[in-house]
């Protein structure tokens, strides 16, 4: 089953803000798992959170739960044998997406990463968002603790999420002696919700612009407001044009971007776009309490998205990403209130630059060059090295690749 492009109704969606809400919910779900846990994450660290996940997975595996994990070879490159071996011995199938050895201590496998963050338990419950399994998503981490979001979802859409992640897991080959795959069972009426949901992914094959396209369609249809909170903001020209057009027709367009970024270049790049957007009426806030890592948006009173995809060249043209697109008034209201809290308590409104003096010829030149960069980068980035990525099973001697399974590791089969 591929990610669906149609709305799937009858879902219950709960917002999980930061690690304080996300990690306990995930660990509780794993502790209650009966048959299967599927997990994909960009980052898994051997810190306090990583060890808690490790313990939860070990306990589940030892009581007979089938566990498949996929971690990224760049984001999770430092897992030790002492962390990995007990999982393998307990029956966990741990795979690494496109790993590479360090060269002189540096990692160069930075392009086309598996950036998704998904957990599916018993084909009944799923978690999708931007939160990695690392302690820096907790406030207790300190000033560098990240601000981020995920969702917990129950309902018919979980079947689509489960089928997608299950297919990716099976690209390494079926488990030996595995029973038939877990199928989603009818859920009690009390767990049903009213949210319409689409599960949308981005890959380097048939879904190269899927997530960005949902953003553009929603912004184009906006009538009252658009609120985007995104950690790494440097989108293509088509999305920027929709934001400007929305503001010009009277839509209240608000961007919440990093004011205290974990990577300074992020702020420098985003600020190149401020004037272009502000001159059309877009309001830009910088969040300064701690690094913003969220990838969420609200349009009008009913449309939202939460997921792993930033609005930058890596996420929009290179990485493997997954978002949920949600149509639900109650959930939209909840997310809107949380974003408004950030604006009211921890954001600074950025004033537009004053008009350039006559001698400042570099400003229009900068705009001209930026326009041409953004109008074409989605094509230019596809010229970067593009090879079939490999998935290495932890403890195995040889990687499993698309050629050996008849499917692509992007999950597009």
Same domain, 200 and 248: no
pLDDT at 204: 85
Q: What is the dihedral of CA 378, 383, 387, 391, to 10 degrees?
A: -30
Report the CATH number that the domain containing residue 222 is assigned in CATH.
3.30.870.10
The single residue of 293, 312, 328, 410 carrying the catalytic annotation is 293
**Does residue 400 register a pLDDT over 50?**
no
pLDDT, average across residues 346-352 = 95
Find the helix or strand (DSSP H, E) in which 42 lies: none
Cα–Cα distance, 287 to 344 (Å, whole number):
10
The single residue of 117, 137, 146, 162 carrying the catalytic annotation is 117
pLDDT, average across residues 336-359 = 86
**Does residue 99 register a pLDDT over 90?**
no
The single residue of 137, 146, 295, 346 carrying the catalytic annotation is 295
| Radius of gyration in angstroms for the set of CA atoms belonging to the chain, rounded to a whole number | 21
State yes or no: is 300 an active-site residue. yes
Cα–Cα distance, 137 to 149 (Å, whole number):
10
State yes or no: is 346 an active-site residue. no
390 domain-assigned: no
More confident residue, 71 or 104: 71
* Band of residue 368 on the pLDDT scale cut at 50, 70, 90: low
246 domain-assigned: yes
Q: Which residue's structure tokens are 């059309």?
A: 280
pLDDT at 1: 46
* Band of residue 377 on the pLDDT scale cut at 50, 70, 90: low
404 domain-assigned: no
Same domain, 121 and 219: no
Same domain, 168 and 243: no
CB 323 within 8 A of CB 211: yes
pLDDT at 2: 54
Q: Number of structural domains, the chain? A: 2
Cα–Cα distance, 292 to 37 (Å, whole number):
29
Same domain, 67 and 186: yes
Q: Which of 99-103, 163-167, 283-287, 386-390 is least confident?
A: 386-390
Q: Which residue's structure tokens are 């612009």?
A: 209
Same domain, 372 and 237: yes
The single residue of 122, 136, 196, 410 carrying the catalytic annotation is 122
> Among residues of the chain, what percentage have pLDDT more than 90?
66
The single residue of 68, 72, 98, 115 carrying the catalytic annotation is 115
Q: How many residues does the chain have?
A: 413
More confident residue, 265 or 24: 24
Mean pLDDT of the chain: 86
Structure tokens at 191: 């767990």
What's the whole-model pTM score? Answer: 0.89
The single residue of 2, 252, 300, 302 carrying the catalytic annotation is 300
Mind spelling out the 3-state secondary structure of 199-257?
A: EEEECCCCCCCHHHHHHHHHHHHCCCEEEEEECCECCCHHHHHHHHHHHHCCCEEEEEE
State yes or no: is 98 an active-site residue. no
Cα–Cα distance, 135 to 126 (Å, whole number):
21
What ranges make up the beta strands (E) of 103-156? 118-121, 125-129, 149-154
Q: What letter does residue 92 receive in the DSSP assignment?
A: -
172 domain-assigned: yes
Same domain, 323 and 199: no
CB 172 within 8 A of CB 391: yes
Same domain, 276 and 179: no
Same domain, 65 and 120: yes
Cα–Cα distance, 165 to 17 (Å, whole number):
23
Q: Which residues of 35-51 are buried (b: 16+ CB within 10 A; e: fewer)?
A: ebbbbbbbbbbbeebbe
Q: Which of 1-5, 192-196, 285-289 is least confident?
A: 1-5
Q: How many CB atoms lie within 10 A of CB 357?
A: 8
Q: Is the dihedral of CA 11, 16, 21, 25 positive or negative?
A: positive
pLDDT at 83: 96
403 domain-assigned: no
Give residue-wise pLDDT tens across range 171-207: 866 665 555 566 655 555 445 799 999 999 999 888 9
Find the helix or strand (DSSP H, E) in which 189 lies: none
**Does residue 73 register a pLDDT over 70?**
yes
Same domain, 268 and 128: no
CB 67 within 8 A of CB 61: yes
Contacts of 90 (CB under 8 A, 6+ apart): 57, 58, 61, 62
CB 75 within 8 A of CB 40: no
pLDDT at 147: 96
pLDDT, average across residues 384-407 = 55
* Band of residue 272 on the pLDDT scale cut at 50, 70, 90: confident
State yes or no: is 262 an active-site residue. no
Structure tokens at 92: 């966990």
Q: Which of 139-143, 282-286, 369-373 is least confident?
A: 369-373
pLDDT at 401: 45
* Band of residue 309 on the pLDDT scale cut at 50, 70, 90: very high
pLDDT, average across residues 374-392 = 65
Q: Which of 56-65, 245-254, 271-280 is least confident?
A: 271-280
pLDDT at 175: 65
State yes or no: is 293 an active-site residue. yes
**Does residue 296 register a pLDDT over 80?**
yes
Same domain, 220 and 199: no
Q: How many CB atoms lie within 10 A of CB 197?
A: 30
313 domain-assigned: yes
Q: Give me the domain span that covers residue 21.
A: 8-204
Same domain, 99 and 158: yes
pLDDT at 403: 35
405 domain-assigned: no
Same domain, 187 and 321: no
């Amino acid at each position: 089953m591929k990610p669906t492009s149609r709305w799937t109704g009858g879902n219950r969606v709960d917002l999980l803000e930061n690690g304080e809400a996300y990690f306990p919910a995930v660990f509780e779900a794993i502790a209650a798992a009966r048959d299967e846990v599927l997990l994909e994450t960009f980052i898994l660290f051997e810190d306090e959170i990583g060890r808690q996940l490790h313990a939860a997975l070990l306990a589940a595996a030892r009581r007979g739960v089938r566990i498949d994990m996929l971690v990224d070879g760049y984001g999770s490159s430092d897992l030790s044998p002492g962390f990995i071996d007990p999982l393998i011995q307990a029956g966990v199938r741990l795979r690494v997406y496109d790993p590479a050895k360090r060269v002189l201590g540096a990692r160069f496998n930075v392009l086309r990463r598996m950036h998704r963050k998904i957990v599916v338990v018993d084909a009944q419950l799923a978690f999708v968002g931007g939160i990695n399994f690392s302690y820096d998503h907790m406030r207790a981490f300190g000033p560098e603790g990240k601000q981020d979001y995920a969702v917990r979802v129950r309902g018919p859409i979980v079947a689509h999420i489960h089928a997608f992640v299950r297919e990716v897991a099976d690209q390494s080959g079926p488990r030996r002696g595995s029973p038939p795959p877990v199928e989603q069972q009818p859920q009690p009426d009390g767990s049903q919700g009213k949210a319409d949901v689409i599960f949308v992914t981005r890959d380097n094959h048939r879904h190269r612009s899927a997530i960005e396209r949902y953003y553009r369609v929603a912004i184009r249809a906006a009538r009252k407001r658009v609120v985007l909170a995104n950690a790494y903001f440097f989108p293509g020209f088509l999305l920027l044009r929709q934001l400007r057009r929305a503001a010009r027709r009277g839509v209240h367009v608000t961007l919440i971007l990093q004011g205290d970024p974990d990577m300074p270049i992020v702020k420098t790049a985003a600020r190149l776009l401020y004037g272009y957007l502000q001159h059309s009426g877009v309001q830009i806030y910088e969040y300064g309490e701690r690094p913003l890592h969220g990838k969420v948006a609200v349009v009008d009173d009913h449309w939202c998205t939460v997921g792993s995809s930033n609005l930058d060249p890596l996420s929009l043209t290179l990485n493997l990403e997954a978002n949920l697109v949600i149509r639900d008034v109650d959930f939209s209201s909840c997310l809107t209130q949380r974003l408004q809290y950030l604006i009211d308590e921890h954001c600074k409104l950025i004033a537009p630059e004053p008009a350039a003096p006559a001698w400042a010829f570099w400003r229009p030149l900068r705009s001209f060059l930026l326009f041409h960069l953004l109008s074409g980068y989605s094509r230019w980035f596809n010229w970067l090295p593009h090879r079939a990525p490999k998935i290495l099973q932890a403890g195995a001697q040889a990687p499993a690749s698309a050629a050996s399974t008849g499917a692509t590791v992007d999950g597009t089969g």
